[in-house]
Amino acid sequence: MKFFVDTADVDAIRELNDLGMVDGVTTNPSLILKSGRDILEVTKEICSFVKGPVSAEVVALEASEMIAEGRKLAAIAPNIAVKVPLTWDGLKTCKVLSSEGFMVNVTLCFSANQALIAAKAGATFISPFIGRLDDINLDGLDLIGDIRTIYDNYDFKTQILAASIRSANHVKDCALIGADVITAPPAVIKSLASHVLTDKGLEQFLKDWAKTGQKIL
Ligand code: E4P
């Protein structure tokens, strides 16, 4: 399973990238706002050191404008994935841009049928939002499972990019279900290394070590 980082915070991406943990990056208008940076400038900087797909999202609502925005974003670097919302105009944009050879990430997916139609429109990635479904008492992971089954039934090549990941358990469950990619905030990716028994065990080892009076260096 590939790891994408869901942020436009360049320092946070660099830290994970140096550890080889970054297979790609996703951004959205809210994350650009949070970064306080210009979208073209920050996206270019991210693409200068991340080798995998970097998603940059269009903000127009009408297809011809979305296509123009998508082409401009795609011109930033060859590894840009143009992110479009799962609307009818977004699907038209997906079809045009993917036919032109650009990667397209269809975002804001909340149903299996939306994922099906995005695959038909040539999406490179489909982004189902787990956390936001959980927020309204629906099961985001069920959706990932349904999409996995549908895509496998018909051998669709669209990659399932599980998004709106809020916890380490979401990551584990996506891996068990067989999502192709997860995109998660840096803090969630870092939390995968944590376990309370690791902390407790280390504390005890260090206490006992101190009693030996020994040093390694
Ligand atoms: C995905 O591409 C989105 O940027 C993101 O995962 C949304 O997550 P949120 O629901 O936590 O805002």
Long-range contacts of 188-194 (CB under 8 A, 24+ apart): 189/3, 189/5, 189/16, 189/21, 190/16, 191/167, 192/168, 194/168
Question: pLDDT at position 159, please?
Answer: 98
Q: With a 6 A CB cut-off, is 105 part of the ligand 1 pocket? A: no
Beta bridge partners, 83, equal 57, 105
Question: pLDDT at position 196, please?
Answer: 97
Q: Catalytic one among 83, 172, 200, 207?
A: 83
**Span 92-134, pLDDT tens digits:** 999 999 999 999 999 999 999 999 999 999 999 999 999 999 9
Question: pLDDT at position 16, please?
Answer: 98
Question: pLDDT at position 140, please?
Answer: 97
Q: Whose CA is nearest to atom 1 of ligand 1?
A: 163
3-class state of residue 105 by DSSP: strand
Q: With a 6 A CB cut-off, is 28 part of the ligand 1 pocket? A: yes
- Transcribe 122-160 into DSSP letters: T-SEEEEBHHHHHHTTS-HHHHHHHHHHHHHHHT---EE
* Residue 122, C-beta contacts closer than 8 angstroms, at least 6 positions apart: 94, 95, 98, 99, 104
* Ligand 1: centre distance to CA 7 (Å): 9
Q: With a 6 A CB cut-off, is 26 part of the ligand 1 pocket? A: yes
pTM for this predicted structure: 0.96
* Ligand 1: centre distance to CA 203 (Å): 36
Question: pLDDT at position 38, please?
Answer: 98
**Span 201-212, pLDDT tens digits:** 999 999 999 999
Domains of the chain in sequence order? 2-212 (3.20.20.70)
**Span 46-105, pLDDT tens digits:** 999 999 999 999 999 999 999 999 999 999 999 999 999 999 999 999 999 999 999 999
Question: pLDDT at position 81, please?
Answer: 98
* Residue keyed to tokens 């939306």: 114
Please report, to the nearest 10 degrees, the dihedral formed by the alpha carbons of residues 193, 195, 199, 202 taken in order: -70
* Ligand 1: centre distance to CA 33 (Å): 13
Q: Could you give the CA distance from residue 133 to residue 129 in angstroms, rounded to a whole number?
A: 7
Q: With a 6 A CB cut-off, is 102 part of the ligand 1 pocket? A: no
